[in-house]
């Protein structure tokens, strides 16, 4: 009979969990190229591969975003004008992490109230994403908000937020719109797919219990 240990030694190892790998490379120099109202542009010279590389990027404070679902699994979408893409695109409530000492969850709760005058009794971390890792260091933390109710007070909105359009759309229809190419916002896409998978797993676990 074949030796069990010897047989097992020839088996491939199970795949490791995939994960992004943080790397701290020596930064030879870092210059502020442009200081903006919301974010800056930096030019870094980095030691890499036996030499150096120079990379310009947007130095971003990060953001928090909200996937809000009602009791019928409809997803809250907002539409507003975005000048760089010359579109009024469909998005989820989101905002910068620009309040000192404020945790991402607190930012998400604040943005839900400020942009759509809603509060939520249930909050769960959903997913965090790098939006454009080749061009900026922005990370967006998305949260799933449920058990919604009107916020304690309404908020005045200015500029692009002054004419925000709000729609409640079945989550399945949002996913279909993304796959059909009608909805192209990256944060919306990540949030919708993550929420759909979260609900699918919850239903699967409920059916199996």
Which pLDDT tens digit goes with each residue over 181-208?
Answer: 999 999 999 999 999 999 999 999 888 7
Apex CA 39: angle with CA 37 and CA 42, to 5°? 125
Q: Helix 171-179 crosses helix 186-208 at what angle (to 10 degrees)?
A: 130
Examine the pLDDT at 162 and tell me if it is beyond 90.
Answer: no
Domain locations in the chain? 27-59, 63-208
Predicted confidence (pLDDT) per residue in 20-73, tens digit: 999 999 999 999 999 998 899 999 999 999 999 999 999 999 999 999 999 999
How far, in Å, CA of 135 to CA of 41, rounded?
10
pLDDT band at 91 (very low <50, low <70, confident <90, very high): very high
Active-site residue set: 161
> Is CATH 3.90.79.10 what the domain over 63-208 is classified as, yes or no?
yes
How far, in Å, CA of 173 to CA of 55, rounded?
40
Give me the residue label for tokens 């925000």.
164
Question: Considering the chain, what percentage of its residues have pLDDT values greater than 70?
Answer: 89
Token pair, residue 194, equals 């993550």
Taking alpha carbons only, the member of 53, 55, 8, 50 closest to residue 33 is 55
pTM higher than 0.75 for the full model?
yes
Taking alpha carbons only, the member of 169, 178, 150, 190 closest to residue 75 is 169
Taking alpha carbons only, the member of 33, 32, 30, 58 closest to residue 46 is 30
Examine the pLDDT at 124 and tell me if it is beyond 70.
Answer: yes
């Amino acid at each position: 009979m074949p030796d069990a240990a010897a047989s097992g030694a020839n088996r491939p190892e199970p795949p490791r969990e995939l994960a992004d790998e943080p790397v701290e490379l020596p930064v030879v120099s870092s210059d502020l190229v442009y200081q903006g109202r919301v974010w800056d542009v930096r030019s870094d010279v980095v030691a890499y591969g036996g030499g150096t590389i120079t990379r310009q990027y947007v130095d971003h404070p990060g953001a928090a975003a909200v996937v809000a679902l009602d009791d019928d699994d409809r997803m809250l979408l907002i539409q507003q004008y975005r000048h760089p893409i010359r579109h009024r695109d469909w998005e989820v409530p989101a905002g910068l992490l620009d309040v000192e000492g404020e945790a991402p969850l607190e930012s998400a709760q604040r943005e839900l109230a400020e942009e759509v005058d809603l509060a939520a009794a249930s909050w769960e971390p959903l997913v965090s994403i790098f939006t454009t890792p080749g061009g900026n260091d922005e990370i967006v933390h998305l949260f799933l908000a449920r058990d919604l109710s009107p916020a304690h007070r309404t908020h005045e909105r200015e500029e692009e937020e002054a004419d925000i359009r709000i729609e409640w759309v079945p989550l399945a229809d949002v996913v279909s719109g993304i796959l059909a190419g009608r909805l192209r916002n990256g944060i919306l896409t990540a949030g919708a797919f993550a929420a759909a998978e979260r609900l699918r797993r919850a239903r699967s676990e409920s059916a199996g219990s």
